[in-house]
Structure 1
Amino acid sequence: MAASIAVALLAAFLTPLIVYWLTTRTRKPLPANLPPGSLGLPVIGQSLGLLRAMRSNTGERWLRDWVDRYGPVSKLSLFGAPTVFVTGPAANKLVFGSDALAPKQPRCLPLILGRRNILELVGDDYRRVRGAMMQFLKPDMLRRYVGTIDAEVTRHLDAEWAGRRAVTVLPLMKLLTFDIIATLLFGLERGAVRERLAAAFADMLEGMWSVPLDLPFTAFRKSLRASARARRVLEATLREKRARLERGESSPANDLVSCLASLRVDEGGGGKQLLTDEEIVDNAMVVLVAGHDTSSVLMTFMIRHLAGDPATLSAMVQEHEEIAKNKADGEALTWEDLHSMRLTWRVALETLRMIPPIFGSFRRALEDIELDGYVIPKGWQVFWASSVTHMDPGIFKDPEKFDPSRFEGQAPPYSFVAFGGGQRLCAGIEFARVETLVTMHHLVRRFRWRLCSKENTFVRDPMPSPLHGLPIELEHMGVASPCKTAC
């Protein structure tokens, strides 16, 4: 029995190596001016080394060591495919601005989120979908909803923070961002429908980054089933929003789903839908995942840093007290108030520079591409990681130092890419800015905090997550909740 298991394991290990060797024999010759580096062992390549580094939270250092050895454009092998790792402003410009590179997400993501989501699209399809989403996410629209987000934040702090001696930050930030998305982007009232979406979403997240094995009892199977439940909620929501629009009972400005449902190809509104129903639901799923995770991680790590940086916290408190003293009790924040939160947004940007929520991602070369005198062959993977550029001392002086003042001016083009860049600039950047600034305004005025754990570390799984979710002890500052007056 043991011998047969050993043979089976050996066969499972050798089969991909044999297939790889046979397929590479028939490929066309590679160009002579490939980037420097090493492809390592067939199939395995450098995958195990990078994965080990990520599990021990030294992934950024592993990549910087690789760049020190081979330069900003280098070849390696990751997850069974030949890969070119690129870093630096010129490389970032290529990654975010070239139609010769197509997104290549982990196989589980399109299966869970849908194949027509914006992360998978290229060319005209990408521009069409992004343009449609920007109809609601552009600043001129979002300025109308600062008060709505303000009400969600104050309700959340009253319900989950007020009166408590200690809280765990990351799960609470995820709860807050889900509530903001459900209210503002999906237009869902609190109740059974919203609770079904929340439950399905929580189950879906557990298998988002799992091995895509659709077998009983796997995390991926559970995530697929949860995804189907979440999609049914969103499909029903879309049908309801469209019916209300047709009856004249609601406006495209009510929420993102209504906005997308209202768009037509011609300006008169009588033509065919700009987006298919599948595209609306798929991209609502992306908004749910991206808006939930990235903003909650950003605000969690801002709180984590401010616990040990009293000077920056004091300056932020002063900034927000100046705004508050010019407002009546219970008066919600406005778009104009956000423009006075310059220091707070610089703190957010510096947090993103040092701990970007997205470690990196892959692209696929649709044709031979030249970069820095080297050729990236058609069909190869291209891997980029923002942290290597962000921690380059040639771009950001003393990169290990937390210094929000570095964002008082404009960063060099494509050097700060926490939100992407070029045509791939995150459509939700303004939405993230509004919810971050509103949340931090109320937090720094109502509370002070101290980290419960002396071990101030975090891991990536794949998003950065602080130890134990960042438990903190709270001190209440006696600032009355605006919600007590406004609500």
Structure 2
Amino acid sequence: MKANTAEKWLEDRVKKYGPVSKLTLFGIPTVFIHGQAANKFVFTSNILNTKQPISIQTLLGKRILTEVSDEDHKRIRGALMTFLKPEVLKQYVGKMDGEIKKHFEMHWQGKETVTVLPLMKTLTFNLLCSLLFNLEHGARREKLTKWFEQLLQGFLSVPVNLPFTRFNRSIQATSRIQNMVMNIIHEKKSIKQEAYPHKDLIASLLSLRGNDNATLLSDQEIVDNVRAVMFAGHDSSSVVLTFLIRHLANDPVVYAAILKEQEEIATSKNSEELLTWEDLAKMKYTWRAALEILRIFPPIFAGFRRTREDSEFGGYLIPKGWQVVWAANMTHMNDSIFPEPSKFDPSRFENQASIPPYCYVAFGGGQRICPGNEFARIQILVTIHYLVTQYTWKLCCEDNKFSRHPIPTPTQGLPIQIEQKNRL
């Protein structure tokens, strides 16, 4: 992953062993599968559980959406979607707009050079703090940011909990995050709020009731799933934004098309007006460019499942308890699905219905499709709007390589030279 040779390793494996092969991964008997049929099997089969490696389970919790099945999955997903569905999120476009404007004022304005990836992580994390917890800028948010970075460092480390190891530091960080989120939950429970739902994710989840009038999710389920949403929303959006900024620096045609689209929106508003849901709907080309970045540089390289019983795929028996691994790039970079797959071409997404099902899986698929994809769309579009209308930039680093730690990370975090536009 660090050497960024994982894609070639998988391609070589397929050439040698075919579309289904077995190996040992993280000490567990594992089957690697790929292709459209494999993606469909992974996202729709009731025979598979979503079991992450022990390190991820330990750090995010065992009651997160991706770790549960059947009725629990339906219940937790339904609870999350009460906040993450478009008709609710459209109320928060203005709030996200304000947070993003503040980010550019604090971290970009007056600077000659910036390093993109850490700043995009800061931006997406601040948006999550605002929308998930309604947590204002200050000491508590700073602590949460520090602990979350420590948590991420142990994600794919060897799960041996010994002092001074990366995994041990991550366990300490996740424990501190859990305590803070529990405190926030107790604070919200102690306050009577007339318009309780939809103020933030935690308030929304606390407001939900089951048939017995008990809270639909337990406090621990709320903590685990908030932590998982933090991880998913933080890394995915920051990677897309970073690699889109990197690409636009060297692609004047795509940059000009995005700039034209965003300038038309900017000139239709006065400087004090916030972006609206209707403005986002006009950003069609910008979003197609983001989808193309997700195709070429999927933030999540591979996914893990575990068989609940003896299973059959592709004519092979997969025993109960075995791990199943799939990788997004195996269909994203398949030239029979996406012609000239290495070419950056947003027009591929002009008619998304023309893309075969379960071939573009940047957000997953079927019942396992990412519930936060609309949240990510708003983050990305609003950020790109202010970036291209307020700044020009060029890369400081000629090395255009990247590695995975475990997310795609450009050389040196992508330092760029920026210049603020003079706007009338």
SS in 2 for 1:55: coil
User: Counterparts of 1:330 and 1:264 in 2: how far apart (Å)?
Assistant: 40
User: Which runs of no fewer than 5 residues in structure 1 stay unpaired?
Assistant: 1-53, 481-487
2:26 touches 2:53 (CA, 8 Å); kept in 1? no
Equivalent residue for 1:366, pick from 308, 329, 338: 308
Aligned partners of 1:78 and 1:215: how far apart in 2? 21
User: What is the DSSP-based 3-state SS (H/G/I as helix, E as strand, rest coil) of the residue aligned with 2:66?
Assistant: coil
CA RMSD between the two structures: 1.4
The separation in 2 between residues aligned to 1:251 and 1:192, in whole angstroms, is 25
Q: 1:468 to 1:409 in 2, by over 3 A?
A: same
Unpaired stretches in structure 2, ≥5 consecutive residues: none
- Is 2:303–2:325's contact at 8 Å kept on the other side of the alignment? yes
Deviation at 1:115, TM superposition (A): 1.7
Q: Which residue of 2 aligns with 1:78?
A: 25
Deviations 1:187-215 (A, max 9, x none): 11222322222232222222232222211
Overall identity of the aligned pairs, in %: 53
Counterpart position of 1:264: 209
Q: Deviations over 1:108-133 (max 9, x none)?
A: 22222222112211111111101100
Match of 2:85 among 138, 146, 166: 138
Report the alpha carbon displacement of residue 301 of structure 1 after superposing the two structures with TM: 0.5
The worse-fitting range, judged by mean Cα deviation, of 224-233 and 148-157 is: 224-233
Please list the CA deviations of residues 198-243 of structure 1 after superposition, one character each: whole Å capped at 9, or x if unmatched.
2322222222322222111111111111111111111111111122
Q: Residue 335 of structure 1 aligns with which residue?
A: 277
Q: Distance in 2 between matches of 1:207 and 1:380?
A: 24
What is the alpha-carbon distance in structure 1 between the residues aligned to residue 313 and residue 155 of structure 2? 33
Query: How is 1:213-252 mapped onto 2 (pairs within 5 angstroms)?
Result: 213-244=160-191, 247-252=192-197
State whether structure 2 residue 351 is matched by structure 1 residue 351.
no
Alpha-carbon distance, 1:412 to partner: 1.3
The higher relative CO (CA closer than 8 Å, separation ≥ 6) is in 2
- 1:279-305 per-residue CA deviation (whole Å, 9 max, x = no partner) reads 001111111111111110110000011
Aligned partner of 1:428 in structure 2 is 372
Distance 1:401 1:147 in 2: 35
Residue type of the alignment partner of 2:315: G
Q: Which residue of 2 aligns with 1:451?
A: 395
The one-letter amino acid of 2:151's match is M
CA distance in 2, matches of 1:389, 1:440: 27
Partner of 1:124: 71
Residue 153 (str. 1) matches residue 100 (str. 2): yes
- Which residue of the partner structure matches residue 267 of structure 2? 325
The answer as to 2:123 corresponding to 1:204 is: no
Q: CA deviation at 1:330?
A: 1.4
Partner of 1:395: 337
**Does 2:418 align with 1:418?**
no
Does the 8 A contact of 1:368 with 1:377 survive in 2?
yes
Alpha-carbon distance in structure 2 between the residues aligned to 1:316 and 1:70: 43
Count of residues paired in the alignment: 422
Q: How does 1:4-83 map to 2 (within 5 A)?
A: 54-83=1-30
The superposition leaves residues 8-28 of structure 1 with CA deviations (integer Å, 9 ceiling, x where unpaired) of xxxxxxxxxxxxxxxxxxxxx
Letter in 2 for 1:206: Q
Q: Is 1:310 matched with 2:252?
A: yes
TM-score by length of 1: 0.84
> What secondary structure sits across from 1:423 in the alignment?
helix
Q: Give the direction of change, closer, same or farther, for the CA distance of 1:330–1:80 in structure 2 (3 Å limit).
A: same
Give 1:329 shift.
2.1
Q: Which secondary structure state, in structure 2, belongs to the residue aligned with residue 104 of structure 1?
A: coil
Amino acid at match of 1:417: V
* 1:177 maps to which of 103, 109, 124: 124
Contact 1:165 1:473 in 2 (8 A): yes
**Larger mean Cα displacement after TM superposition, 404-413 or 167-176:** 404-413
Question: Take 2:384 and 2:131, find their aligned partners in 1: how far apart are those partners?
Answer: 19
Using the alignment, how far apart are the partners of 2:23 and 2:148 within structure 1? 35
Tell me the distance in 1 between the aligned counterparts of 2:394 and 2:146.
31
Whole-Å Cα distance in 2 between the matches of residues 406 and 440 of structure 1? Answer: 20
Classify 1:228/1:82 alpha carbon distance in 2 versus 1 (closer, same or farther; 3 Å): closer
- 8 Å CA contact 1:168–1:472 kept in 2: the answer is yes
